[in-house]
Amino acid sequence: DTQMTQSPSTLSASVGDKVTITCRASQIVGTWLAWYQQKPGRAPKLLIYKASTLKSGVPSRFSGSGSGTEFTLTISSLQPDDFATYYCQHYNSFPWTFGQGTKVQIK
Amino acid sequence: EVQLVQSGGGLVQPGGSLRLSCSASGFTFKAHSMHWVRQAPGKGLEYVSSIRSNGEFTFSADSVKGRFTISRDNSNDTLYLQMNSLRLEDTAVYYCVRGAGRDSTIAPFDPWGQGTLVTVSS
């Protein structure tokens, strides 16, 4: 199975900050990588797929990059609505595993 | 509007069984792979099981293999998860999820159902 490792686990930031989350895969997954946002008590929502493609309707301050085994999610200017937990997931081969999550909290 | 409405969660004793249902609407259900993902209280997301659009291929995580069975009824636009021999560690919110790509298994998960809580306790 491909293991996904995110860093950091927790991130403290202020509104307006640039935030970067890293996701590493234990095996090459190409660009079959998605990012999800989850708020407490809510279902996750897809933000980015194919490593760098923004889902329609997602604000352009979110961006993704990477290929192979190293990926990043960047929020260019953190907004109050962005405080949440973010997960990466590969969908290269079964099982489609998730990273452990990165909680973005208010500094 | 694409919707996934889940039902069937609840409290069950260890060793017991439960069946989750997920009713789909707003899209061509038979053209999409479907999946189940779970989240234990205070924990991260865990992949559970997948089924291809025609139901002819399924895959389950090792943690549930042999105990959980994913299935679908394309005539009624419904996804199921039959859970047998439930353990304490199966306690979680279970999410029904659509594979975003039409006629493609290699696709991210979008959208997600509202989630249903399964509690395994004596």
Q: How far is A45 from chain B (nearest CA, A)?
A: 7
A53-82 pLDDT, tens per residue? Answer: 999 999 999 999 999 999 999 999 999 999
Q: Which residue from B minimizes the CA distance to A6?
A: B44
Q: How far is B121 from chain A (nearest CA, A)?
A: 21
Cβ separation A36–B109 shorter than 8 A: yes
Which own/partner pairs from B45-50 qualify as long-range (CB within 8 Å, at least 24 positions apart)? B45/A36, B45/A38, B45/A44, B45/A87, B45/A89, B45/A98, B45/A101, B46/A98, B46/B92, B47/A89, B47/A95, B47/A96, B47/A97, B47/A98, B48/B81, B48/B94, B49/B81, B50/A94, B50/A96, B50/B99, B50/B105
A7-56 pLDDT, tens per residue? Answer: 999 999 999 999 999 999 999 999 999 999 999 999 999 999 999 999 99
